[in-house]
Amino acid sequence: MKIKSVKARSIWLFDLQDLNPSGKDIAEDLFDWIKEAYGFSVSPDLRTLLPVARNNPTGTDAQTLSAGAVFEKGHFRTREEAFIEISKLTLFNDGIVIDTPSSTTEGDRFAQDLLESAAREFSLTYDEETVRKCIYLSELVVRSDISLDLVNARLAAFATRISEAFSEDPKPQVRIAGLQFWSEPNEAGKHRLFTLERQAGKAFAERRYFSQAPFQTEEHFKLLQELEQIMMGS
């Protein structure tokens, strides 16, 4: 199995105002610093995003970042001469969301660097207890020799029956398209999904699959490799 592309999301939940308990009016300077420090080509318009900031001694209020302040197309230096793309950084009242085509691990490294560096730059309050929870979403496109038809021979035969039901000639080939594993719903009625499905728009012969999981990228890929072994009987 080989990874062809990655979309990784790291969500760090914390009260944004906890970073600034003294109520410094730093919103404008902070946004400018984030844009410059991480090379974002797109940054939020403070004039429309924070219409009440000038009338609020803390620089924020309960509605300030409810819709999210979005920075796009930035980068982060993870080690000597190595940079990763930060597709999007979104700031909310209750945390930050980092999207990257690298991995959730790299997204976490960026989040850590952002908060530690901002704390030093603006004398903010940040420590290891600030973040309440981290949530992850990993999306992978992989190439694999998995055969979904092996899930159940009778379902594979039924896919052939579906193909035969089409009126046109030649009849389109129909195959089992994917697998889904659901968690029990949470209090909000939402499930957490682990999915594997054929990549839309790609020929079956390309053996390309799309998978989504609420895990860190590395754990997600390990589970896919395990599923591949199960499906191939090894």
Per-residue confidence (pLDDT) for residue 63, from 0 to 100 = 45
Is it the case that residue 21 has pLDDT exceeding 90? Answer: no
pLDDT tens, residue by residue, 219-233? 999 999 999 999 888
- pLDDT, mean of residues 25-41: 93
pLDDT tens, residue by residue, 58-102? 344 434 556 789 999 999 988 766 899 999 999 999 999 999 999
pLDDT tens, residue by residue, 140-152? 999 999 999 989 9
Count, residues in the chain: 234
pLDDT tens, residue by residue, 110-165? 999 999 999 999 999 998 899 999 999 999 999 999 999 989 999 999 999 999 99
Per-residue confidence (pLDDT) for residue 66, from 0 to 100 = 65
Closest among 231, 73, 208, 55 to 156, alpha carbons compared: 231
Rounded to 10°, the helix 104-122/27-37 angle is 130
C-alpha angle 134/101/105, rounded to 5°?
Answer: 35
- The helix or strand, by DSSP H or E, that contains position 64, with its residue range, turns out to be none
Token digits of residue 131 = 């973040």
- Report helix, strand or coil for 2: strand
pTM for the full predicted model? 0.87
Give the pLDDT band (50/70/90) at residue 56: very low
Beta strands (DSSP E) in 59-199 are 69-79, 82-92, 95-100, 133-143, 178-182, 193-198
Per-residue confidence (pLDDT) for residue 61, from 0 to 100 = 43
Is it the case that residue 52 has pLDDT exceeding 60? Answer: no
